Structure 1
């Protein structure tokens, strides 16, 4: 009973808990936003940084941080420069009044020189480090002269060192200060920016030298905390770099801390290597480094203190919110957060691109709908046209007739129906009116002959108008089909854009392990698709010296692992022995096609008016096409060649075959006013199931030879280019392995002499063929036709023979049973 009650009550409690959790998270976000606004936007953070840099020392004497920081803030955020100067002066005052006055004077001297010579500067950012260099040099020499009364060589050298450090620090601060802003930064941190940020953070922490809490050194705790954060975020490389740079700067500030550089560098390296253990692993790395370096460097008492400082740094590290480390990791190349951020950005760009393409697709779809929409008032318009037609007739005949009132007022329906029937009969019977209708009309109308002549005269204009309207409708229909085809292609393209490359890391490792286990040296495997029938894998292997191990060994092993035939699609061999070969493996198609071609020009000429093409299309489709230009010679060859080139480009764009052919026809018919046209014989074969679609435009029949049977394929359409609009008849059939598809131009089909039935003659000759080799079949058919003409070639002739075969792999698969199910 208690369990049931708990199950009933728990959901409510869970909802309340989640509600409070969300409210708490929102409250934290608001507090964080307010703190960020207070410290960053109001410049309090620059004030604190200035305070620490104002009291930071190098070699226990030099203070080169103050003026470079002020100059960089003045150039990057001029409105916050007074706060930075106040912090610098206050920080220097903790050292001595002289240092405070020196910081203020050098800042004033820098501003005076810069404002005085600003109008002569072309690029201010390049000049600022030089202003800092000379200002620090002059200021240091002046300070020595005022305090001691003279300037020694040592003082001059130290002034030069401080000025040089100021020059370098100015360049560093100019790059690192913009990183402290709240601006939403899209670009990643460069290596130089990361190093500059580390140097600035380490320089800031040198301002804490001498501070302690319960006898624990603040600078040691903060420096180890900094190393922990970067080792956790960016790994061993950046972690050790942070350790070396931070330790070096601390060593320059205080020579007694030189051993600290080894501790920080080693802890950064170990922490980065143990990054996979999350925060605990990085903390363990720091502890190990502390114990090793601590025992080596100092005595037991100091080791206990060092461990306490490390523990304090680890405590701060564990208290650091995950949001802060994740945000920092997004800007450092090589981190998972950076990769995820880049992928999210690319996904957003991909979605925007796909959305724009889909918008264009919808525009073309809307245009297609507007062209293809049927006129709902079509019948009304037809009746209205009939009324206009009869109105024109009556205006010429009935207006002056004395029986007008009798015919149109008393017997309107009878007169209207008679004239309508006469018009329809003349329209459908080439101007002939049936005898009975003529007699009835003569009895009804006193001017029957005049009315019939007027109807016949008006009918000529009516028929011309109807023909023009029909052509306009057909043109609109073609434009609608073309726009719909473009819309479909763009819609499919948008879907392809949105398809992400699947992550196949597990399968890649399995394939790599399987191939290496069998002694095949593989450098890299990259899987793009494991979809059945659409496998796409890239493999990098060492130089094989032309032994063909990709085709003979790797492809058969992949075939067994993936459970389908895999073949080498492309191979890029290395150009030198120590290089690598890049091979692409794809799914093998269920069928392959061997093609043979025989062609001859009229009278044995060099240029034939026939053209042919075999086109590999996407989606496992193969097209075979023959085009016969009108006449012979170069003009006919250009016409047929352009027909096939246009067809190939449109088909490869993804537009459906019928729309493609209609588009080619409209281009050919509108391109010129000459009576130039060409035929087209197209066969689209699906290599996955051997289904074929024939589209014949003014072409001769094709034949399918299946064993001893010969099947004729025929369709009736006018040649391309004669009229702008026509319907394309599509004939579908199913091919089988071993079938021969024979396509020919009219010069071959109608070539035999003294033959009455070309179909029977061609069927008989194809049936008598004893070979099934495509090239031999094409040559034999051509030879038979030329021989029947006693060796004369009276027209351009082309024969294309395609043999359908099962795609039997050259090499059988190599069984690797234990990897088969895992990879799939």
Structure 2
């Protein structure tokens, strides 16, 4: 009931059908426009439907269609309800005057009851079917009592059956009538809506039972036309469903029509299966079903008549414009037209989203430019203006009340100004204050030299504090500008990614699917999103997957041979709510891989270390290794270093450039508290495609690269993170090679050896003496050497992270698929 309520509670809208875009041939344009105006816009189609439903029978006696149809029309299109009533009464009059009077009387009774009780109704939609049930039941009983003088048990049963059918038909008409009235529908049809529409159309066609043209049954022609129309539009499933529902309605109306249900269902099935042959294929399906079931059912006597009826249905089908079938197909899920319509909608949504993201990017870019424009270096006139402002404050408190003011500032302005400027500069540069020579020279010139210097010293304190504040504001603006610029670049790249359409790789998809199926692997679907070298992206769906490693051991090696580059399984998982459908994503293997080893120890053998480390695999084929050392030891230092790495990881994963990310972390850590809390950061960003590495060291000690017998030192001089708000980040670049060992450590390891004068030489010697290239063993040995040098004492938190650069060799060799490799290329 709730679905019914949602489907039509909105008022019916008048639609301008003159703008409908049916592409008929030119001779039919005017006819089509007139028919639309008469039947749809003026709703005279309700007159035709009412006429046919008014004379439609169930079990050759019951007429349960009239009141449900009128109730639905009265609720949805109240202004057109009189037209529907005229059609119902006229249709009933073709059966008998008694049926016409009964239909009119029950309709008037329904209107009276509805109008009287309407003000007490909270939900009209839910109560309409019950009204119809009551009216039909009371009307059937009253009619039986009026004509027979008593109510027999048979009359009670028939009245109950008719009332029950009326209840169900009301629900169906409430769902299906809006589908006939609104032509510009945006949503696709639901399954129950399609079924309700078919029941309505089949019910209408029952009103044609008994009609014939040249001895051909009208209901048979239109029912077969309806079936092959939906089979052509929506395929075998919907076509057979339409055939079953239509045949069932006809069999209820007339027992002699029971045989036709099989014919209609079989026609819908064959027509849907042969829809690839367009209209001719669907027509052949109908003729095959007619021949087979026609000979089986009625024998050869009526075969010619049955074939003639199917021929008439096919002629109507061929006269149906393709634009009409295409428009109908857009609303039925599963059809190519519906999929294309959804793709158009998604493309529009994508373009709108990309445009909005690009607009936000431009906003952030403008904000960044606005902040940056204020960060230019101060010009000389600005410096002079600051100096004049400072000296003005000094003279206001000293020279303003002096009787020699006019002589000093009017007659000897330049001399006085130079003296005071020189005094200010010396007070700024010299900790002990003004030199004796300058003081004696100024004393001979000014009668209040001591007071001037005292006031200048006070004002200088305020002036310097003001300059520091301005510098901090300037540095903060620069940091904000960099952050806004980073966000702008991320959003711009995101907008470009959104606008990238999936390329058309149907040929490659078919080749891959054929190759895997020939190999004996059951694949349901293959979607190729990118074949760009180094950036291959392929998704597959495997039905009935049992998890024996086929994806890694067979499919990925075959793809590697077909595409000519190493392909690995990137992600695999069962579909939601399913244990048989398996989704797998294949991506290009990176040129290099990283194997890491970590060793760490807390001060004095404690449980919590102030050091933290992280290895992060970022998007775009980058790998990050980071070590952070919090100030001091224990839990507080651990929290500081851990929070530093967590902030850095989240910012880097968002796509912001490394230097901006580190500056952002520094800004947060330096502004969040007034305590003297800081932490070091040692970051290495490795590109897995070419092994190019960037080292960003913030207050950290050197790192080392072991390449054979050589040991390369990586060092940069930056203050620890969180000490100052404006952080200059030096980036050291180094090209790594396969087989290199990258060794990063905290200061507890580097400065840990006891009685060592040069830590660099000692660490290089220990690294050179290493006999193993296993990253974990190297990390363990380095920490062990440091602890041994202190006789087993752990003087500080210690962390060592060792990364070995290796060529990325797939675990499984490629499987040759020569003919498919040649076709793919």
TM-score between both structures, scaled by the size of structure 2: 0.88
1:690 Cα offset (Å): 0.8
Partner of 1:3: none
Following TM superposition, by how much is the alpha carbon of 1:351 offset from its aligned partner in structure 2, in angstroms? 3.8
Equivalent residues of 2:545, 2:580 under 8 A apart: no
The structure-2 alpha-carbon separation of the partners of 1:348 and 1:543, relative to structure 1 and needing over 3 Å to count, comes to closer
Provide the residue aligned with 1:485 in structure 2.
Answer: 486
Residue of structure 1 in register with 2:771 after alignment: 770
Superimposed CA distance per residue, residues 805-824 of structure 1 (whole angstroms, 9 cap, x where no aligned partner): 11122222222121124446
Which residue is 2:197 aligned to?
197
Q: Which moved more, 1:65-74 or 1:690-699?
A: 65-74
My pick for the range that moved more, 675-684 or 160-169, is 160-169
* Deviation at residue 391 of structure 1 after TM alignment: 2.2
Indicate whether 1:701 and 2:702 are aligned: yes
- Give the stretch that moved more between structures: 422-431 or 549-558: 422-431
CA contact 1:697–1:717 (8 Å) conserved in 2: yes
Alpha-carbon distance in 2 for matches of 1:215, 1:379: 103
Q: How does 1:392-403 map to 2 (within 5 A)?
A: 392-399=393-400
Tell me what 2:18 maps to: none
**Which residue is 1:132 aligned to?**
132
Q: CA distance change for structure 1 residues 439 and 816 in 2, over 3 Å: closer, same or farther?
A: farther
2:24–2:321 Cα contact (<8 Å) kept: no
Q: How does 1:704-743 map to 2 (within 5 A)?
A: 704-743=705-744
**Aligned partners of 1:487 and 1:219: how far apart in 2?**
66
Residues in 1 aligned to 2:153 and 2:543: alpha-carbon distance in whole angstroms: 64
Aligned to 1:107: 107
Q: Which residue of 2 aligns with 1:179?
A: 179
* Alpha carbons 1:512, 1:525 under 8 Å: kept: yes
Distance 1:130 1:606, change over 3 A: closer
In 2, Cα distance between the equivalents of 1:330 and 1:90? 36
Shift of 1:593: 1.3
1:65 is aligned to 2:65: yes
Could you tell me how far apart the structure 1 residues matched to 2:407 and 2:444 are?
14
TM-superposition CA deviations, 1:649-675 (whole Å, max 9, x none): 222222222222222222222232222
**In the superposition, relative to structure 1, how do residues 424 and 90 fare at CA in structure 2: closer, same or farther (>3 Å)?**
same
- Of 771-780 and 555-564, more deviation after overlay is shown by 771-780
Confirm whether residue 225 of structure 1 aligns to residue 225 of structure 2: yes
Question: What is aligned with 1:11?
Answer: none
1:533 is the counterpart of 2:534: yes
Which residue of structure 2 lines up, in the alignment, with residue 77 of structure 1?
A: 77
Aligned residues: 803
SS of 2:718's partner is coil
Q: CA deviation at 1:254?
A: 3.8
Gap change, CA 1:445 and 1:38, over 3 Å in 2:
farther
Q: What secondary structure sits across from 1:596 in the alignment?
A: strand
**1:459 and 1:568, CA in 2 relative to 1: closer, same or farther beyond 3 A?**
same
Rounded to whole Å, the distance in 2 between the matches of 1:333 and 1:564 is 39
Contact 2:601 2:798 in 1 (8 A): yes
Distance 2:495 2:586 in 1: 26
Deviation (angstroms), 1:767: 2.4
1:268 is matched with which residue?
Answer: 268
CA distance in 2, matches of 1:817, 1:326: 43
Between stretches 769-778 and 287-296, larger displacement belongs to 287-296
- Tell me the CA shift for residue 45 of structure 1: 1.4
- 1:321 corresponds in structure 2 to 321
Q: Partner of 1:603 in structure 2?
A: 604
Displacement of 1:353 after TM fit? 3.8
CA deviation vs aligned residue, 1:713-750 (integer Å, no higher than 9, x gap): 11111112222222111111111111111111112222
Aligned position for 1:14: none
1:732–1:105: structure 2 CA closer, same or farther, 3 Å change rule? Answer: same
1:592 maps to what in 2?
593
Query: Is the partner of 2:627 in helix, strand or coil?
Result: strand
Paired residue for 1:798?
799
Aligned twin of 1:10: none
Structure 1 residues 622-681: Cα deviation after superposition (integer angstroms, max 9, x where no partner): 111111111222222222222222222222222222222222222222232222221111
Bigger mean CA offset, 755-764 vs 463-472: 755-764
Question: Equivalent residue for 1:6?
Answer: none
Give the Å deviation of 1:574: 12
The structure-2 alpha-carbon separation of the partners of 1:802 and 1:337, relative to structure 1 and needing over 3 Å to count, comes to same
How far the C-alpha of 1:432 sits from its partner, in A, is: 6.7
- Structure 1 residue matching 2:379: 3-state secondary structure: helix
- SS of the equivalent of 2:613 reads strand
Residues in 2 aligned to 1:448 and 1:303: alpha-carbon distance in whole angstroms: 131
Structure 1 residues 583 and 762 mapped into 2: Cα distance closer, same or farther (>3 Å)? Answer: same
- Structure 1 unaligned regions, length at least 5: 1-20
**1:275, distance to aligned residue in structure 2 (A):** 0.7
Structure 1: how far apart are the matches of 2:252 and 2:568?
Answer: 64
Distance, in Å, in 2 between the alignment partners of 1:27 and 1:628 is 84
Shift in alpha-carbon separation, 1:213–1:417, aligned structure 2, 3 A: farther
The 1-side partners of 2:251 and 2:132 are apart by: 24
Partners of 2:60 and 2:48 lie apart in 1 by 21
Q: Any residues of structure 2 matched to 1:319-398 within 5 Å, and which?
A: 319-374=319-374, 378-379=378-379, 382=382, 383-398=384-399
TM-score by length of 1: 0.88
Q: Which deviates more, 535-544 or 734-743?
A: 535-544
Q: Distance in 2 between matches of 1:609 and 1:772?
A: 28
What runs of 5+ residues in structure 2 fail to find an aligned partner? 1-20
Question: For 1:102-136, what per-residue CA distance to the aligned partner results, in whole angstroms no more than 9, with x for missing partners?
Answer: 21112122223334444555544344334333433
The answer for the alignment partner of 2:672 in structure 1 is 671
| SS of residue matched to 1:712 | strand
Q: Does the aligned pair in 1 maintain the 2:236–2:271 contact within 8 Å? A: yes
Q: 1:790: how far off?
A: 2.9
Tell me which residue corresponds to 1:280.
Answer: 280
Q: Which moved more, 1:396-405 or 1:364-373?
A: 396-405
Matches within 5 A, 1:14-33: none
Distance in 2 of aligned mates of 1:593 and 1:377 = 44
Mapping for residues 419-818 of structure 1, pairs under 5 Å? 419-420=420-421, 423-424=424-425, 426-428=427-429, 455=456, 457-502=458-503, 504-522=505-523, 524-541=525-542, 548-572=549-573, 582-818=583-819
| SS of equivalent to 1:57 | coil
Contact 2:375 2:474 (8 Å CA) reproduced: no
C-alpha distance in 1 between matches for 2:163 and 2:553: 70
1:425–1:431: 8 Å Cα contact kept in structure 2?
Answer: no
Corresponding residue SS for 2:676 = coil
Shift of residue 474, structure 1, vs aligned partner: 0.3
- Contact preservation (8 Å) 2:357, 2:491: yes
What does residue 12 of structure 1 align with? none
- What is the CA distance between 1:418 and its match in structure 2? 5.5
Separation of aligned partners in 1, 2:376 and 2:736: 44
Counterpart secondary structure, 1:718:
coil
- Structure-to-structure mapping, 1:146-185, within 5 angstroms: 146-147=146-147, 153-182=153-182, 184-185=184-185
- Cα distance in 2 for partners of 1:187, 1:335 equals 14
Q: CA deviation at 1:441?
A: 7.0
Do 2:511 and 2:820's aligned partners in 1 also have CA atoms closer than 8 Å?
yes
Cα deviation 1:480-537 (Å, max 9, x = unaligned): 2222223333333344444455554443332222123234454554444433223333
Question: 1:468–1:104: structure 2 CA closer, same or farther, 3 Å change rule?
Answer: same
**Offset from partner CA, 1:568-594 (integer Å, 9 cap, x none):** 33455899xx95665443221111112
Structure 1 pair 691/428, CA: closer, same or farther in 2 (3 Å)? Answer: farther
Native 8 Å contact 1:189 1:332 kept in 2: yes
1:219 CA displacement: 2.5
Q: State the SS of the aligned residue for 1:186.
A: coil
**Counterpart Cα distance in 2 of 1:120 and 1:545:** 61
Task: Give the SS at the match of 1:531.
Answer: coil
